[in-house]
Amino acid sequence: MLAKLLILIASVVSLYVVQKYVEFSRMVKSLKSHSRYTTVFSQRSIMGNLLPKIPGISRGRLATWLEKHNPYAKAGWDATANITIVPRTSVTLSLVDAAAIKEVTASRARFPKPVKQYKVLSFFGDNIVASEGDDWKRYRKIAAPAFSDRNNKLIWDETVRIILDLFDNVWGSQESIVIDHALDITLPIALFVLGAAAFGRRISWKDDEGIPPNHQMSFKDAIHEVSMNCFIKVIFPNWAMGLTEHTRRVRLAFEELDSHMLEIISKRRNAEKKEERHDLLSSLLDASADDPSFTDRDLTGNIFIFLVAGHETTAHTLCFTFAMLALYPDQQEILYQHIKSILADGRLPTYEEMPLFTHSMAVFNETLRMFPPVNGIPKYSAEDTSLTVGNAAGDKLVLPVPRGTHIVINTVGLHYNPRYWKDPEEFRPSRFLEPDWPRDAFVPFSAGPRACIGRKFFETEGIAILTMIISRYKIEIKEEPQFASETFEQRKARVLAAKPGLTITPIRVPLVFKRR
């Protein structure tokens, strides 16, 4: 009996191996002679995300960030192909060619978004990110009015108020403020701006929000916990979320955030006195009033996406921005002098002046180039087609792209591609002040019809924060005895060290803010 069982198992395994070999051979043939490499696990799989880099097994979650443009330079073309065996034999085409990427992002019908990969972000309901086709059009139509110029002015004004509150009521008369990790400043700033611009809820630095009745966690803590630990919820099934103290807290945060959002929606809808508000929630409620199919779950789903995107992305980008300015004081001085030339009398910057702060925008863009929040933007081919890619020598290659091919727009590889960016490893904000800077090779917000709807929100908040802080304070790296003998390159590597998350996350950025 045992012998028969072993024979059966061996037969099944043999059939599986033969099937995989046939599928693999077909994939290799479809790629012809183009550069390729093979791993067992796809980065789309859970194992591919959990495992470190193991040659032939997995690439590791940080591979895209660490390798940048190197694999493409080695391959000799601005596209590589990864054949994977698990969960099924498939090929992923990774692009760092600006023209090919523009074609992919502009052709939604040929290269749609693989919404299944984004369903993990539908914790609180369907939303604009995790949808495609008619659903996406409906969400886009309803959400668009929430990102009006009127709302952008609200974002600017609230950001200026929040930074002034920091200056007056937290930093006060101190000449030097030491911050062990810049995220301790940037995360609250991003959260306070979101509270005001998204929900009309003003939070000050001195507020001790506390836990409201019928809750176990404050709104502020719930947002922070959810945005920092989304991957826990993605990876662990519901039954496993109660196994450790940490996973139980994450589970509680998701439950609490859901409850808080539903309460806010209910209060706003049922308020006796209807106030004219310009925040994101009011705009969504107004825009959805004429669409009875837009449910509370649609509201919470979309609000959650804007919360996570607006909180973590802004905070991490600002953290890296402060780090770069501290590491490159000459660039910080150029920025300060430009701000001073506009605000010569020391007054506060206004939203109407935002277009004048070109150096602030250049610094922000250069940080986004070097530290794009999303390392890879997934697409797939809906039909048998082809893409033309190039290389540093100016050669062109037509790549066959069979139906079902996974495509990744490698944001990091594109942003460090020397075909478009001279000396891409250098922090050089002035490249964004040139009239002919390569716009098609800059996609921190994606591109085409599916580009980030909240881009102006993000830019408005970021420019206001950066302009306000640099106008009053000089930023330096915190000096620590244990690092006294390190070289500049060692210091740079230490301060800019990052780990994967929903967005690339700085590990520790110790700074000192000195009053000018």
Which residues define the annotated binding site for heme? 452
DSSP state letters, 316-341 = HHHHHHHHHHHH-HHHHHHHHHHHHH
Question: Residue 165, class by beta-carbon neighbours within 10 Å (0-12 exposed, 13-18 middle, 19+ buried)?
Answer: middle
Cα–Cα distance between 103 and 94 in angstroms, integer? 14
Q: Which residues are annotated as a binding site?
A: 452
Calculate the alpha carbon distances from 193 to 101, 156, 159, 161, 367 in Å: 33, 9, 6, 9, 21
CB distance 303 to 284 below 8 Å: yes
Strands 385-390 and 90-95: unpaired
* Structural contact between residues 159 and 318, judged by C-beta atoms closer than 8 angstroms: no
Nearest to 192 by CA among 183, 184, 201: 201
Distance of CA 158 to the CA centre of its chain: 23
Give buried/exposed letters for 203-224 (b at 16+ CB in 10 A, else e). Answer: beeeeeeeeeeebebbbbbbbb
Work out the number of other CB atoms within 10 angstroms of the CB of residue 246.
11
Residue 172's region, left for phi above 0, alpha for psi from -120 to 50, else beta, is left
Beta bridge mates, 199: none
